Amino acid sequence: MTKKYVIHPIPLMKVQFPKSKMTYLMNFGQTIPIAIYIWYLEGGEKNIIVDAGIAPERLVQRGYKVEPVQTLTQGLSRVGITASDVDLIVLTHLHHDHFHLAPQFPKAELIVQRSELEFARNPHPMIARMWPADYSELLAGLQFSVVEGGTRIDEGIELLLTPGHSAGSQSVAVDTNQGKAVIAGFCSIRENFEPPPAIRGKIPLIAPGINLNALQAYESVERVKRIADIIVPLHEADLLNKETIP
């Protein structure tokens, strides 16, 4: 019998964010709350989390209005573990808000797609300017385990290559007692998967507003929606008070 997991959202902070950066070519001038999470997958022999988060001051330095929710230590303690207990971290992608705190996990194996790591180490100049000055230094200080494409990392947990938002964004499909939950590996909110009725009549889904390839990004949204019984958008603020998924 396949293992059944429970996903624990661990919110670190709430951020006021331009909605257009979440919804491609839409909602200009609007600001919405999003959340920065890590996700603990409970149910296996290993302690597995998805993403590593970022310190609030890093986003404050970049001009964002940030409301801290809890520290990394506090968030992990709520699910009964410490950073030293974590065996494996799946990095959905290498934008700095998803891996900045990785050095705080001393034993964790860091899993990333090869295409994501190669691009991050040699980014296009147009993209490189978006990242902090010490981005290369942060990358150089970490040891990664590289995968290519769809990869099963444990019974009931599979990685899905879902590019477009970044070069090698990966989503995480998790078997639960209510079906397959997919943590979308690209910056998204619920509206990417469930557009408002007025929009849905013209386009059924919305690509992430930040992307390297808008068509790939749209197709990745489409793939997650097709596969998932439960969709977990990576930055959806409505999950801030949710203890478990499902």
Query: How does pLDDT run across 160-203, given as a tens digit for each residue?
Result: 999 999 999 999 999 999 999 999 999 999 999 999 998 888 89
Task: Indicate whether 212 pLDDT > 90.
Answer: yes
pLDDT greater at residue 144 or residue 132 = 144
Residue 126, amino acid = M
- What integer pLDDT is reported at residue 1 of this predicted model? 64
Task: Say how far apart CA 85 and CA 123 lie, in whole Å.
Answer: 33
Which band of pLDDT confidence, cut at 50, 70 and 90, is reported for residue 215? very high
Q: Choose the weakest-confidence range: 117-121, 129-133, 138-142, 169-173.
A: 129-133
> How much of the chain, in percent, has pLDDT values that exceed 90?
93
Instruction: Supply the DSSP symbol for 103.
Output: G
* Mean pLDDT over each residue of the chain, to the nearest integer: 96
Span 74-92, average pLDDT? 98
Q: How many CA atoms lie within 13 A of 199 on its CB side?
A: 15
Which band of pLDDT confidence, cut at 50, 70 and 90, is reported for residue 126? confident
Picking from 16, 66, 9, the residue whose alpha carbon sits closest to that of residue 41 is 9
pTM for this prediction:
0.96
- What integer pLDDT is reported at residue 127 of this predicted model? 84
- Can the peptide bond before residue 33 be classed as cis, meaning omega within 30 degrees of 0? no
Instruction: With residue 59 as reference, give the H or E element that holds it.
Output: helix 56-61
Residue pair 180/123 in contact (Cβ under 8 Å)? The answer is no
Task: Indicate whether 242 pLDDT > 70.
Answer: yes
Q: Which domains does the chain have, with CATH numbers?
A: 6-239 (3.60.15.10)
